[in-house]
Structure 1
Amino acid sequence: MMSLHTTTIGDGPAQLVFLHGIFGQGKNFTSIAKQLADVATCTLVDLPNHGRSPWTDELSYPTLAASVAELLETIGSPVCLVGHSMGGKVAMRTALEHPELVERLMVVDISPSVGLGTNFGPLVQAMQSLPLADLTNRKQADELLREGIPSDTVRGFLMQNLRHEDVDGSGTRRWHWQMNLDLLARELEGTISDWPAIDAHYDGRVLWVAGEKSPYVRQDAYQTMRELFPRYVLVTIKDAGHWVHSEQPAAFTSTLRSFLALEG
């Protein structure tokens, strides 16, 4: 069993579990969870190869879903599972393979067969080109990344993974990427962008949330979405791109709160 790193916020009656996207961490949902603490006990998960969770040698959605299912079994009651981007695909797979563990599902700005490689590839290249051994401080890293990642918001998000610490017990601190960057880079246009075929469907409530300015929930995916999740409802958040929850947090939180309140 893989022990995933989690953080719990709130003590409300609903069980709400968040799965972040590629290069993210559970703490990306901290502010959202605090806003929902009165209605939900929120579990913020670091997926494998991210944050403080263990690294693996290989990556696939079935194995990622299995690790999440092991975690959900420890909660003891079906949850509302929320997944963004890559985490949305993991959440989908978990609901399809372990429907008894997922009371309802919220998929954020991703669809089954849509990949991430085209837009995320340049981010990987910029991070891999950062001269970690020569860094002296975080400001220098920010300046070196600016050309390849011009967006302050995206650069700041990615730099949450840049750590300066003693990683091998030698007493010497060094700069390193906390996520398994080499594995994620290798799988970005393969496993992570793929959607392995599955003969299943999930009959629970599903809310699909798309950013108005994002390309990841497209009309040509609707048929597959309906086949896998026949009860899904699509909501589009205005003036939001791919990181819906950080770009429009109030609208996202309100939408999720309403979804939690729905009966059946």
Structure 2
Amino acid sequence: MRTERIADTDVRFRRGGAGSRAVVFVHGFLEDQYVWDGVIGELGSAGVETVQLDLAGLGERTDAHGPFTLDRFVSEVRAVVDSLDKPVVLVGQSMAAPIVELVAATRPERTLGLVLLAPGPLAGTHLPAEVVERFRESGGSTRAQRELRRQLSSSLSEADLDRLTVIGERVRPKVVCALVDCWNAGHPDGEMPSRYTGPVLVIRGADDGCVTAEGAEQVRKRFVAADTATVDGAGHWAHLEQPAAVAALLDAFLAKAPAADTATPRVGQQRWTTAFAEKSAGSFAEAFAEDVVLEATVLTRPVEGREQVKQVLAAASGIYESLEFTYDSSRGPRTYLEWEATAFGGMPIQGVTILAADDDGRIVRAAIHHRPLGAALRFSAELRARLHGHIDPAYFYDGDRQPARPPAN
């Protein structure tokens, strides 16, 4: 085990083991980096390095100055990820689940997967004022913290309760209040599908009264490729209550995660899926290189240039009533995405999108293949109507005109 520091900061992190991949563990509310020791001790995956750190105001950093915000925590964890010389799997518990999701969203090319344990929703819990006040007032109160943990767990030992209480009572009351505000208010990104599109595992304790089965499902649904798992005999602190069970789930996840030597950049794909989720021309503009070229089944010829392409795709995203990316694969700078959608009152549409990105991850060429033919023709005619006065109608199918017949021999 060795300790390193991010230059010009008080952020320190511990590295254990060795391997081509790293698992970065981020602790939750009123905890510290050492709560993961039991899980790490049970891990059986070979070729994996483990990384632990304390968030500002907690653990060995109780004297850290503010602000204590989600953005600050994301910046610290991202700095740790950037300092590692390998791709990572990010593990976050409770309050840390939104933190690691936001890190993954900004570092998709470095992130092999996410494991969210007893995850708080990125959009925030928005608990009733009287409940929030109980958490805020727990700062500096050994009795209050111990009682909250007892209520939300099912098999925490007295030793673990003592240990967590000691960790929590060292946190300054004003920091406790700031942390409560973080996970209760949440982040604006939580109101939309996740920007991270890689593999995700959502884990909850079967007896967790804070993160219910319904709550875990709501978290799962925000991701393109996410599974759920339940740990029996555990509440909100499954990593302490049942460390071997949590380690087994993590080992299984690591076994299925992309190998480090085959991981490929996903920046272009990330920007593409985010743009479709947000349905705005501005989001598409951020995804594209200036000279981007768009080809599609619904176009009579390619559309060229960022300005025109962003208008076409912003209009197209507004036609879909639902859109789900069901499979992706990458090879070098090229990404293949399969998707399923509905439009026009539930009409099913399927397709494949091929993206080519430059060295900066900006998309330089996109090819979108729609099926079946009837849906593609209707889609093209609808684009023609929506973009009237903005894009030359010759790019689209004229629904009032029969397709030209091939000349006779």
User: Quick one: distance in 2 between partners of 1:207 and 1:37?
Assistant: 18
Q: Taking structure 1 as reference, are residues 184 and 262 closer, same or farther at Cα in structure 2, changes over 3 Å only?
A: same
Amino acid at match of 2:146: I
User: Quick one: distance in 2 between partners of 1:254 and 1:248?
Assistant: 10
Partner of 1:216: 211
Amino acid at match of 1:47: L
Aligned with residue 107 of structure 1, among 107, 116, 121? 116
Q: Taking structure 1 as reference, are residues 13 and 181 closer, same or farther at Cα in structure 2, changes over 3 Å only?
A: farther
Corresponding residue SS for 2:35: helix
Per-residue CA deviation, residues 11-61 of structure 1 (Å, 9 max, x unaligned), is: 244311100001111111112222327622111111111112362322222
Q: How does 1:106-145 map to 2 (within 5 A)?
A: 106-112=115-121, 113-115=123-125, 122=134, 125-129=137-141, 145=142
Question: How far off its partner does 1:224 sit?
Answer: 5.5
Q: Taking structure 1 as reference, are residues 116 and 10 closer, same or farther at Cα in structure 2, changes over 3 Å only?
A: farther
Amino acid at match of 1:25: D
Instruction: Give the TM-score taking structure 2 as reference length.
Output: 0.51
Partner of 1:132: none
Partner of 1:191: 182
User: Quick one: distance in 2 between partners of 1:111 and 1:86?
Assistant: 6
User: Quick one: distance in 1 between partners of 2:17 and 2:237?
Assistant: 23
Partner of 1:203: 197
Question: How far off its partner does 1:195 sit?
Answer: 2.0
Amino acid at match of 2:15: T
**Structure in which a larger fraction of residues adopt strand:** 2
Partner of 1:136: none
* Structure of higher RCO (CA pairs closer than 8 Å, 6+ residues apart): 1
Q: Taking structure 1 as reference, are residues 226 and 159 closer, same or farther at Cα in structure 2, changes over 3 Å only?
A: same
Q: How many residues align?
A: 232
Corresponding residue SS for 2:247: helix
Partner of 1:138: none
Unaligned runs of 5+ in 1: 130-144, 163-176
Kindly indicate whether the alpha-carbon contact (under 8 Å) linking 1:65 and 1:93 is maintained by their aligned counterparts in 2. yes
* Larger Rg belongs to: 2
Partner of 1:67: 76
Q: Taking structure 1 as reference, are residues 16 and 186 closer, same or farther at Cα in structure 2, changes over 3 Å only?
A: closer
Aligned with residue 26 of structure 1, among 33, 46, 54? 33
Corresponding residue SS for 1:22: coil
Corresponding residue SS for 2:59: coil
Partner of 1:149: 146
Amino acid at match of 1:251: A
Partner of 2:232: 238
Kindly indicate whether the alpha-carbon contact (under 8 Å) linking 2:206 and 2:230 is maintained by their aligned counterparts in 1. yes
Question: How far off its partner does 1:10 sit?
Answer: 2.0
Give the percent of matched residue pairs that are identical in Structure 1 and Structure 2.
21
User: Quick one: distance in 1 between partners of 2:17 and 2:135?
Assistant: 33
Unaligned runs of 5+ in 2: 1-7, 151-157, 259-409
Question: How far off its partner does 1:209 sit?
Answer: 0.4
Corresponding residue SS for 2:15: strand
Partner of 2:4: none
User: Quick one: distance in 2 between partners of 1:184 and 1:195?
Assistant: 15
Aligned with residue 51 of structure 1, among 54, 59, 65? 59
Which region of structure 1 is more displaced relative to structure 2, 247-256 or 208-217? 208-217
- Is 1:256 the counterpart of 2:277? The answer is no
Kindly indicate whether the alpha-carbon contact (under 8 Å) linking 1:5 and 1:52 is maintained by their aligned counterparts in 2. no
Partner of 1:93: 102
User: Quick one: distance in 2 between partners of 1:71 and 1:47?
Assistant: 11
Q: Taking structure 1 as reference, are residues 37 and 181 closer, same or farther at Cα in structure 2, changes over 3 Å only?
A: farther
